[in-house]
């Protein structure tokens, strides 16, 4: 899963699969979010707009997969 690889590049020591909330669990902070958005846009050739920049879209793997699906990434 490419999404998990991207997250592991940010912090390889964290287990993103089991976290229900990356922010609450301390796996991602605002600086990491900036890196994550840039990586997602580059890897999947998408553009994430300002309206999508909220914690709900980035809080766990399911939320991220939903965001990617809305951008046509399967």
pLDDT bucket at 7, cuts 50 / 70 / 90:
very high
pLDDT over 80 (residue 6): yes
pLDDT in tens, 10-63: 999 999 999 999 999 999 999 999 999 999 999 999 999 999 999 999 999 999
Q: What per-residue string of b and e applies to 39-63 under the rule 16 or more CB within 10 Å gives b? A: bbeeebebebeeeeeeeebbbbbeb
- Predicted local distance difference test score (pLDDT) of residue 69: 97
Whole-angstrom Cα distance, residue 58 to residue 10?
Answer: 14
Phi and psi, residue 54, nearest 5° = -140, 160
> What global pTM score does this model have?
0.92
What are the strands, taking DSSP E only, across the chain? none
pLDDT over 80 (residue 1): no
């Amino acid at each position: 899963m490419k999404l998990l690889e991207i997250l592991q590049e940010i912090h390889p020591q964290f287990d993103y699969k089991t976290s229900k909330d990356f922010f609450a669990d301390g796996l991602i902070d605002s600086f990491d979010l900036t890196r994550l958005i840039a990586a997602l846009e580059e890897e999947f050739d998408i553009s994430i707009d300002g309206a999508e920049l909220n914690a709900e879209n980035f809080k766990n793997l399911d939320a991220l997969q939903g965001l990617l699906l809305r951008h046509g990434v399967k």
